[in-house]
A and B are shown apart, each in its own frame.
Chain A
Amino acid sequence: MTPIAILCLSGSVLLIGGGLVASVVALVRRPERADYPDGGTDED
């Protein structure tokens, strides 16, 4: 592969894949809020 193609491939994997990893890590660390507003425990 040419260097510029490798750069674009790596960049896309890092940006998109990095976004996925970062969002998963953030969600694992804090899956839910600790301070929901009052109510919301019933269902319609």
Chain B
Amino acid sequence: MARAAGGAVGAPREQWTGQVGFIISAIGSAVGLGNIWRFPGVAYENGGGAFLVPYIVALLTAGIPILFLDYAIGHRFRGSAPRSFRRLGGRPLEALGWFQAAIAFAISLYYTAVIAWAASYFVFSFDLRWGDDPGGFFTGEFLQTSDPGFSLDFVPGVLIPLALVWIATLAVLAAGVAKGLQRLNTFALPLLFVGFIVLVVRALFLPGAEVGLNALFTPEWSALADPAVWMAAYSQIFFSLSIAFGIMVTYSSYRARRSNLTGPGLVVAFANSSFEILAGIGVFATLGFFAVQQGVGIDELEGLTGVGLSFITFPAIVAQMPGGPVFGALFFGSLAIAGFTSLVSVLQVVSAAVQEKFGLTRLQATLSIGGAAAVLSVLLFATTNGLNALDVVDNWANNVGVMASAVLTTVLVLWVRRRGEELRRHLNAVSTFQVGRVWTALVGAVVPVVLGAILVTGVVSLVVDGYDVYDRGFLGQFGWGTIVAVVLLTLVLTALPWRRDPDAFTPWPTLPPARSAQQGARR
């Protein structure tokens, strides 16, 4: 008897309504905060126009190949990350699936907080509430940031919007794949694109815009000889595409079996990168205006990426700009929408996993997982320690957790279980764009080597140098503590019994050396 992802006995598995619905939802997942606040600064700091060379190489040799790998696993083995990996390679790989779901859970805790901040700043834009001291307003009046350390001093100005974001998120998840996730993206993605294009056009007509664009696009060709620049490009592509932590495995499992995978995958990958280029143009045209207003060079500006760019530098610019409130509303509205459509995809990874493992209905899973996540999110990120905690948890979850997940996925699937050829043939059996053996070589060799180097370098740096101004104790609690919690969750959830045997399954289409999951589980 079939049990749907929704948990109702006998009901078919949830599905997107069609190809367009899947593509829009996958783009909504990929286009997130990183496209707007990370790519422009990373490109500028890593060779400007020359950065586009390693960026495109990374897109073609790692981003798209891993995206296809995720699609193939989820589509062939018809489940969330734990169930798909279980069917692919038995209990050891089920643990990898839970590792991915646990990372997604950790990321959702702070991602929600950033969306709450962006939503608050959307409202603040209309009366430019940060005044003439955006930095002081952000860390002082708004976040009431304390010294790093666990705190239970809640900040009502963060707590209330954070609670509202959680309620909205749980409502979308409870509505399901087609009526929740897809409907949200069908409405939000066009709104995001239109709003952001209006913002970019306005930015291009600001005095000094050309100064910013020159700074971003003037190539520093010598940067191409620097391995750090190439690692930055691979990291950017990797984090931007929502790959290797269960999202695309889960999303592709909701496609009908007879569905094109690689054709839509190319659209998603290039749409995501197109939005990054658009964001680079908009952000640096705006920064050019600000630099000219301040009478300084772009290289003298502070806060060109991340939280600093969005919540300190941009408010400062908006305060000086004619029509600033509208520009600010467009920017923070875009940030909130881009973040929200990504957030629901991150939490769907966790929701789908517990529905399948414990036989819960969609509503039960949403309330239990979402409720637990909401409480933890409030405890960690709605207090005076929220900004510090977010900074550290984000760094460890991504640079250690997600990166390790990607390396483990390619090594375990391609090297240990040797399922690369089967997955390649699965992609080709259902897709219009055929992938050759070069795809297997890329995901089996290039990706683990390059991402493995980035992972090792990053971990060594964190161990030896620490991170930012935080002391070792704080990094142990919130940084390494996050990784320890993810690993413990992985071990516990893998050990618990399945409500329904995940191995009673035969992959379609039958492709030698396709093996049933029972065989995989026996190994």
Q: Enumerate chain A residues within 8 angstroms of B219, measured Cβ to Cβ.
A: 4, 8
Is the Cβ of B259 less than 8 Å from the Cβ of A32?
Answer: yes
Chain B's nearest CB lies how many Å from the CB of A3? 10
Within 8 A of B (CB), among A7-38: 7-9, 11-13, 15-17, 19-20, 23-24, 26-27, 30-33, 36-38
Chain A's nearest CB lies how many Å from the CB of B386? 35
In the bound complex, what is the Cα–Cα distance between A9 and B264 (angstroms)? 26
Chain B's nearest CB lies how many Å from the CB of A17? 5
Whether B461 sits at the interface, judged by CB under 8 Å, is no
Could you say which of B217, B256, B430 has the most chain A C-beta atoms within 10 Å of its C-beta?
Answer: B217
Is the Cβ of B218 less than 8 Å from the Cβ of A5?
Answer: yes
In the bound complex, what is the Cα–Cα distance between A11 and B432 (angstroms)? 28
In the bound complex, what is the Cα–Cα distance between A44 and B174 (angstroms)? 22
Chain B's nearest CB lies how many Å from the CB of A12? 5
In the bound complex, what is the Cα–Cα distance between A26 and B78 (angstroms)? 26
Q: Enumerate chain A residues within 8 angstroms of B260, measured Cβ to Cβ.
A: 27, 31-33
Beyond A31-B260, A36-B429, whether A44 also contacts B267 by CB under 8 A is no
In the bound complex, what is the Cα–Cα distance between A9 and B259 (angstroms)? 36
Beyond A9-B213, A16-B56, A43-B257, whether A30 also contacts B263 by CB under 8 A is yes
In the bound complex, what is the Cα–Cα distance between A16 and B257 (angstroms)? 30
Main secondary structure of the interface of A (DSSP, over half): helix
Residue count of chain A within 8 Å CB distance of chain B = 33
Is the Cβ of A41 less than 8 Å from the Cβ of B217?
Answer: no
Is the Cβ of A40 less than 8 Å from the Cβ of B56?
Answer: no
Is the Cβ of A40 less than 8 Å from the Cβ of B263?
Answer: no
Chain B's nearest CB lies how many Å from the CB of A14? 10
In the bound complex, what is the Cα–Cα distance between A20 and B64 (angstroms)? 13
Chain A's nearest CB lies how many Å from the CB of B79? 8
Is the Cβ of A23 less than 8 Å from the Cβ of B267?
Answer: yes
Is the Cβ of B214 less than 8 Å from the Cβ of A2?
Answer: yes
Contact of B266 among A8, A23, A30, A37 (CB under 8 A): A23
Is the Cβ of B13 less than 8 Å from the Cβ of A44?
Answer: yes
In the bound complex, what is the Cα–Cα distance between A7 and B53 (angstroms)? 13
Contact of A9 among B263, B267, B281, B433 (CB under 8 A): B281
In the bound complex, what is the Cα–Cα distance between A27 and B216 (angstroms)? 32
Chain B's nearest CB lies how many Å from the CB of A23? 4
In the bound complex, what is the Cα–Cα distance between A17 and B213 (angstroms)? 18
In the bound complex, what is the Cα–Cα distance between A23 and B50 (angstroms)? 25
Q: Enumerate chain B residues within 8 angstroms of A26, measured Cβ to Cβ.
A: 263, 266, 432-433
Contact of A23 among B210, B256, B263, B276 (CB under 8 A): B263
Is the Cβ of B13 less than 8 Å from the Cβ of A43?
Answer: yes
Q: Enumerate chain B residues within 8 angstroms of A8, measured Cβ to Cβ.
A: 48-50, 52, 217-219
Contact with A along B273-304 (1 / 0, CB 8 A): 11011000100000000000000000000000
A and B contact pairs by CB, cutoff 8 A, 14 listed: A1-B217, A8-B218, A9-B213, A12-B52, A16-B277, A17-B274, A20-B267, A23-B263, A27-B266, A30-B432, A31-B432, A36-B258, A36-B430, A42-B257
Using a CB–CB cutoff of 8 Å, the interface residues on chain A facing chain B are: 1-2, 4-9, 11-13, 15-17, 19-20, 23-24, 26-27, 30-33, 36-44
Using a CB–CB cutoff of 8 Å, the interface residues on chain B facing chain A are: 2, 12-13, 15, 19, 48-50, 52, 56, 78, 210, 213-214, 216-219, 256-260, 263-264, 266-267, 270-271, 273-274, 276-277, 281, 429-433, 505, 508-510
